[in-house]
Chain A
């Protein structure tokens, strides 16, 4: 779901970024007001979960791949506004350091994965939670609701991404009628994106959200907003470490996700030409492109990228917690 650069026109990118600016502004204000200072570093841990979740690629027959995002998970633990900031930071890190998702398309990616996904997931979860189970079986009820919420959130985000892809050939074509950016219209983009997300990727998001939510609630309750303890417990650190070591499983999926092809790949996907906007478009060289270090086996590059990404997320939010006045962080 990470839209690369040059798939969306600069105008679309600008509009999506402009749409995200007020969301980020309100998120920062809400987090400042609602989240205690010692809970802010937990946004980094949540962001790390999201970052690592996005590295577990799952293959789908036909050669495409997808992954979980974990936006609903963070929204349920720390609130949707905190989730918006945490996922935005994870996406920024991925774009700048690992070249996953475009720099120009950062606003669009944030709109889909940091705004639509956590908010829809959070809203659906809270809407349907009372309908499952009784007050006595709260844990089971919450998990089922979280699963449904995360499924809806991911699919809502995928639909937004598909619409952003699909409107490109309607709006931006050259004199010969060829698309300048993403060449697939709504009739192709929506089914292509949604089939994968409504089936396997949605299921992966549900499993990712429910498994981590269940673990956190039993072994690391300090991650929850309602819990007073803020010191990161050992089980949570071990779990994060295990997730990092398991990221190379994402390499088992060898294909490229739909809509994330390189400029050299797109002509071979069936359209027979490379859109001019992609040929002449913005190119950014990431420090560790595609989570791989040149000359190293891919799995080592993957683990190193996971460590760097997770550590940067935690460091970033620990530094942010210093900016907020109030009770001291643990």
Chain B
């Protein structure tokens, strides 16, 4: 919920004005390419290279943002270590290291992309990459409504707990809890239907015809050209690393 709230907040506030404005679609493409190649890599060499680059980028962020990124990175890394722990007992300790490194690399790529891109940049990038508008709208709505409906469900649960006297015991109490949860979920669902319809109607009133348009024009500049060079460089590095072993 906190992460989703941040996505919404970032719509109105850019994360770092000092960062060069790179075409969001280009940023997203490089991130997705790196994640894909990391997953495809048959050895740790390519992953170590990407990890080194990501750590260097992370080191340039202010301390608070480094702490935020590492805090969010910790859970997936620990979870992977836990999942991969049996491989150590089977004598494949290197496998645990390789997989954990791949996960660290992929999550770090996404977290750093999140630090550099607004949510509206991401939806704009989808449009540039010719992803159908219905997918973009569904994703956009899902993220926004998750936050709104989460807040609604939270408020309802708080209201119920304030009005409830805990007189029931045992199975009766459990049944009452399940009924309450069902009620909250059902109400949330109904509200979500109404809100979705209202949002869609409002969008239609403002001229939405099923196509996502970006009104922020980004001219392809030299910074974008330099950034675009990363794509062949990363692919060449991947091929070289795979051929090296």
Contacts and interface: CB of A to CB of B under 8 A. Distances in A.
Interface in B34-82: 43-45, 48-49, 51-53, 55-56, 58-60, 62-64, 66-67, 70
A200 interface: no
Nearest to B58: A315
Contacts, number: 62
Interface string A161-177: 00000000000000000
Interface of B: 43-45, 48-49, 51-53, 55-56, 58-60, 62-64, 66-67, 70, 97, 241, 244-245
Contact of B70 (A41, A308, A319): A319
Nearest to B93: A285
Question: What size tier do the contact residues of chain A reach?
Answer: 20 to 34
B63 A41 contact: yes
A209 B232 CA distance: 39
A288 B48 CA distance: 9
Contact of A318 (B48, B59, B241, B244): B59
A47 to B, nearest CB: 12
A311 B56 contact: yes
Most central of A237, A293, A319 by chain B CB within 10 Å: A293
Interface in A280-330: 287-288, 293-296, 300, 304, 307-308, 310-312, 314-315, 318-319, 321-322, 329-330
A27 B49 CA distance: 35
A293 B240 CA distance: 14
A295 B45 contact: yes
B241 to A, nearest CB: 8
Interface majority SS (helix, strand, loop, mixed), chain B: helix
Contacts of A322: 63-64, 67
Given A295-B245, A296-B45, A296-B244, A307 B63 contact: no
B53 A315 contact: no
A41 B53 CA distance: 19
Contacts of B43: 294-295
Given A319-B70, A322-B67, A307 B56 contact: yes
A329 B63 contact: yes
Nearest to B57: A311
Contacts of B67: 319, 322
B52 A308 contact: yes
B48 A315 contact: no
B63 A321 contact: yes
8 A-B pairs with the lowest CB-CB distances in the bound complex, closest first: A311-B55, A295-B245, A314-B59, A318-B63, A307-B52, A311-B59, A304-B52, A311-B56
